[in-house]
Structure 1
Amino acid sequence: MYKVFITLFYCLIFTAASQGQVLTGADRTEGYLPLLSGKRVALLVNQTAMIGHTHLVDSLLKLHVHIQKIFSPEHGFRGNADAGEKVGNSTDASTGLTIVSLYGKHRKADAADLQDVDILLFDIQDVGTRFYTYISSLQEFMESAAENNKPLIVLDRPNPNGHYVDGPILEDTSLRSFVGMQPIPIVHGMTVGEYAYMLNGEKWLKNGVECKLTVIPCKGYDDHTFYQLPVKPSPNLPNMAAIYLYPSTCLFEGTVLSLGRGTDLPFQVFGHPSFPKDLYKFTPRSTSGAKEPPLKNVTCYGYNLTGTPEAVRAEMDNKLQLKWLLQAYDLYPEKENFFTPFFNKLAGNTTLQRQIKQGLSEADIRETWEPALTQFKTIRKKYLLYAE
């Protein structure tokens, strides 16, 4: 058995290393397999939990880890459900394991879910923004672990937007939701492992509980590493251009515009039927992962922001870009109808919408973020695992 384990272990590490110099927490099996030995394990994972070309669940089963059940986040275990789509409990066809959905009304694993479990494991690829719901799932998983006295292992992964911190802080507690649960900026510059330490250390878990937490860090990674995600993290982030643009273009989710859901370029284009007809043209359609996109089957006119990952990352200039949102607001003829109620939840305040309506410049808006960003960066430093 020992020789089998060693052979498989080195195969897994070789596969991961061949993709680049970065080893994720999942790749570093020597750090967490001993913690799983003889335990009944439950994992909160999705399609991004990979060791090389093999899913973490399959790898652990081959290593005779006793997996009791799988918990799944938004978009489901296989990552193909629409944003916000209800995903029920099921059975994984390939392994026969029970899958318990932690999205929708049943977002937290309860005592009944965990009564036959000894230890929990979290492995999901995040993209580094407050409104990407996987860090909200992480928080509630940590709360479940603490409340039910279960240890939790977080297998860390690089943050593709970890090279900067920017945007307004969530400052209005009435706007807290699953797309923003804590007073952090839109772009927080932390991996899920670092953020887990922050949730514990700042006593941000419900009722101030503290999770018995182990983080398996990445190797060969720092905040400026260019890391190409090997698996798309959700249906509408299909490539690195979308991932780099997402912190800025996701704000269009709180407007009447289309941001390309239902096209080949989600989060990489934006537009509306009322915009000038000589602009970039696209038509959202019902697609897998975007069955009912905004402005479905309606021709929109707007802008195509996509390009090579390197070009898009350079265009972002290490900051959240407001210029496209301001441009769209200027173009839209019925300005009183431009924003939807969801916008303030994404922004984390009512201030940004008011500033845009008042005609403030991007520079003036950004200046109002600085005091809170400076304070957040001071707090953040306490929990960093990697060089900035």
Structure 2
Amino acid sequence: MKRILHMTLGLILASNLSHAQLKYSNDIIKTGAEQTERYIDKLKGKRVALVANQTSIIGNTHLLDSLLKRGVKVVKVFGPEHGFRGKASNGTEVFDEIDQDTGVKIISLYGEKRKPSKEDLIDIDILIFDIQDVGCRFYTNINTLRDIMESSARYGKELMILDRPNPNAYLIDGPILDMKLKSGIGQFPIPISHGLTVAEFAQMVNGEGWLADGLKCKLNIIKNANYSHNMLYKLSVNPSPNLNTEAGILLYPSTCLFEGVALNHGRGTDYPFTVVGGPMYKGIYSFSYVPVSMPGRAEDPLYQDQTCYGLDLRNYDLEKLVKSRKINLTWMIELYSKFPDKAKFFDRSIHRQIGNIDYLSGDSEFKKQIEAGKSEEEIRKTWEPSLEAYKKMRKKYLLYD
């Protein structure tokens, strides 16, 4: 269970510098989990369940190990998509198990069930949610959080949230989900990049009435210390198997949209979400790479063992990305314009990996806009009214400046 981790760093967006120059700063931010003095006494004598994965850390130690060492009675752990240790591929069913190191029972919330049952919680006094999120609507941790909140509220359990910074908190962008397109990768009327920590999102869930049957969850939030939304947070643990680089995490709000088109976006490589291409671009782009099968990450990637040509974003200027405060649409527009058979660009039939672009974007007009050759500015104008309304609503739930 013990893990050797690199020191967590805070990337700070210095507001007093021109061009939003980024600076690194060590040991400025303290996550909720790290502030044990603020919550350990509240757990004494209680039966505790964790909602956790490989990102639930205090320094070099997993939260489960830390609490057990301090005498906290952890009865069970609930694991989200990718499993408790974060080793399962995206969308892969995860099964219940017993943790080999501690003997604690692990119940999967990404298998037969998606939320704890009454029986799961009957021997629990309090749940603790501590999972690192990346701030995107289609990243399923917020779905798990809502389900945990609903079960906690329905069965009269308190939910403690150990908050963590959102590495994409600077970015509030994308179309608001049309609830007619509600799916497993989009369940809330929020933009692609929502600009909230998980604790702030939990407050929004309660405040906007997004729990079933009018339920409200009793929350106990342990905030991040020394944190604001102007800070970019460099993760010390991969939040999922295919978000394994700083560039991938910051590019994710933009490049995950390529899951809805007939292109490989780095699955089957060591740099997912930072390259995009396909065999059809041979002679158009000079950069190339070959996706291969990677058990636990990409068993059957699109264009497996074929040479793909396209865009290499691994060295893209992340400072430029942050300064823009926008999802990058130019890559999608460019790759569509150069795609030889445009009728197949959004074709889902060629591989199971390709998702529905409508569900990913949350907007049935997005595909039509790309096909019609609309400019980035023209597309963005259609987002503005609902996006501005969201930003106003969001302010009610902020815990940080």
Same fold (TM over 0.5): yes
Aligned to 2:246: 240
User: Is the 2:291–2:304 contact (alpha carbons within 8 Å) kept by the matching residues of 1?
Assistant: yes
User: Is the 2:58–2:66 contact (alpha carbons within 8 Å) kept by the matching residues of 1?
Assistant: yes
Question: In terms of mean alpha carbon deviation, does 84-93 or 31-40 score higher?
Answer: 31-40
- CA displacement at 1:235 relative to structure 2: 0.6
Structure 2: 5+ residue stretches without partners: 1-6, 11-24, 349-354
* Amino acid of the structure 1 residue aligned with 2:132: Q
Question: In terms of mean alpha carbon deviation, does 259-268 or 316-325 score higher?
Answer: 316-325
- d(CA) in 1 for partners of 2:380, 2:210: 26
Please, what is the CA RMSD of the aligned residues? Answer: 1.7
SS at match of 1:325: helix
- CA displacement at 1:279 relative to structure 2: 2.4
User: Is the 1:162–1:223 contact (alpha carbons within 8 Å) kept by the matching residues of 2?
Assistant: yes
User: Is the 1:127–1:161 contact (alpha carbons within 8 Å) kept by the matching residues of 2?
Assistant: yes
User: Is the 2:192–2:253 contact (alpha carbons within 8 Å) kept by the matching residues of 1?
Assistant: yes
* Amino acid of the structure 2 residue aligned with 1:188: H
Q: Are 1:260 and 2:266 an aligned pair?
A: yes
User: Is the 1:156–1:217 contact (alpha carbons within 8 Å) kept by the matching residues of 2?
Assistant: yes
Of 70, 73, 94, the match for 1:63: 70
Aligned to 1:330: 337
Of 303, 306, 314, the match for 1:295: 303
Q: Deviations over 1:89-138 (max 9, x none)?
A: 01111111111000133111111111111110100000111001111111
SS at match of 1:289: coil
- d(CA) in 1 for partners of 2:136, 2:31: 19
Aligned to 1:154: 161
- d(CA) in 1 for partners of 2:338, 2:222: 48
Percent of residue pairs bearing the same amino acid type: 49
User: Is the 1:48–1:124 contact (alpha carbons within 8 Å) kept by the matching residues of 2?
Assistant: yes
SS at match of 1:185: coil
Q: Are 1:366 and 2:385 an aligned pair?
A: no
Q: Where does 1:304-319 land on structure 2 (aligned, <5 Å)? A: 304-307=312-315, 311-316=317-322, 317-319=324-326
Q: Deviations over 1:58-105 (max 9, x none)?
A: 000000000000000000011011001111001111111111000133
- d(CA) in 1 for partners of 2:144, 2:319: 27
Aligned to 1:46: 53
- d(CA) in 2 for partners of 1:15, 1:165: 24
* Amino acid of the structure 1 residue aligned with 2:327: L
- d(CA) in 2 for partners of 1:115, 1:148: 8
- d(CA) in 2 for partners of 1:334, 1:147: 51
Q: Where does 1:132-151 land on structure 2 (aligned, <5 Å)? A: 132-151=139-158
- CA displacement at 1:15 relative to structure 2: 9.6
User: Is the 2:9–2:233 contact (alpha carbons within 8 Å) kept by the matching residues of 1?
Assistant: no
Q: Are 1:376 and 2:367 an aligned pair?
A: no
User: Is the 1:145–1:152 contact (alpha carbons within 8 Å) kept by the matching residues of 2?
Assistant: yes
- d(CA) in 1 for partners of 2:161, 2:253: 24
- d(CA) in 1 for partners of 2:163, 2:132: 8
Q: Deviations over 1:215-243 (max 9, x none)?
A: 11000111111321110100111111000
User: Is the 2:8–2:27 contact (alpha carbons within 8 Å) kept by the matching residues of 1?
Assistant: no
User: Is the 1:241–1:313 contact (alpha carbons within 8 Å) kept by the matching residues of 2?
Assistant: no
SS at match of 2:74: strand
Aligned to 1:226: 232
- CA displacement at 1:16 relative to structure 2: 9.8
Q: Are 1:114 and 2:128 an aligned pair?
A: no
* Amino acid of the structure 2 residue aligned with 1:301: Y
Of 181, 184, 192, the match for 2:190: 184
- d(CA) in 1 for partners of 2:36, 2:77: 19
User: Is the 1:15–1:53 contact (alpha carbons within 8 Å) kept by the matching residues of 2?
Assistant: no
- d(CA) in 2 for partners of 1:66, 1:193: 24
Name the TM-score, length of structure 1 as normaliser: 0.93
User: Is the 1:156–1:216 contact (alpha carbons within 8 Å) kept by the matching residues of 2?
Assistant: yes
User: Is the 2:8–2:234 contact (alpha carbons within 8 Å) kept by the matching residues of 1?
Assistant: no
User: Is the 1:244–1:313 contact (alpha carbons within 8 Å) kept by the matching residues of 2?
Assistant: no
- d(CA) in 1 for partners of 2:156, 2:90: 31
SS at match of 1:99: strand
User: Is the 2:166–2:232 contact (alpha carbons within 8 Å) kept by the matching residues of 1?
Assistant: no
- d(CA) in 2 for partners of 1:374, 1:16: 31
Aligned to 2:205: 199
Aligned to 2:86: 79
Name the TM-score, length of structure 2 as normaliser: 0.90
- d(CA) in 1 for partners of 2:149, 2:321: 36
- CA displacement at 1:208 relative to structure 2: 2.1
- d(CA) in 1 for partners of 2:393, 2:108: 33
- d(CA) in 2 for partners of 1:105, 1:348: 26
Aligned to 2:399: 385
SS at match of 2:233: coil
Aligned to 2:105: 98
Structure 1: 5+ residue stretches without partners: 1-13
Q: Are 1:123 and 2:137 an aligned pair?
A: no
- d(CA) in 2 for partners of 1:349, 1:121: 34
* Amino acid of the structure 1 residue aligned with 2:287: Y
- d(CA) in 1 for partners of 2:204, 2:286: 44
* Amino acid of the structure 1 residue aligned with 2:254: S
Q: How many pairs were matched up?
A: 371
Aligned to 1:285: 292
- d(CA) in 2 for partners of 1:355, 1:186: 17
User: Is the 2:169–2:196 contact (alpha carbons within 8 Å) kept by the matching residues of 1?
Assistant: yes
Q: Following TM superposition, where does structure 1 have runs of at least 4 consecutive aligned residues deviating by more than 3 angstroms? A: 14-19
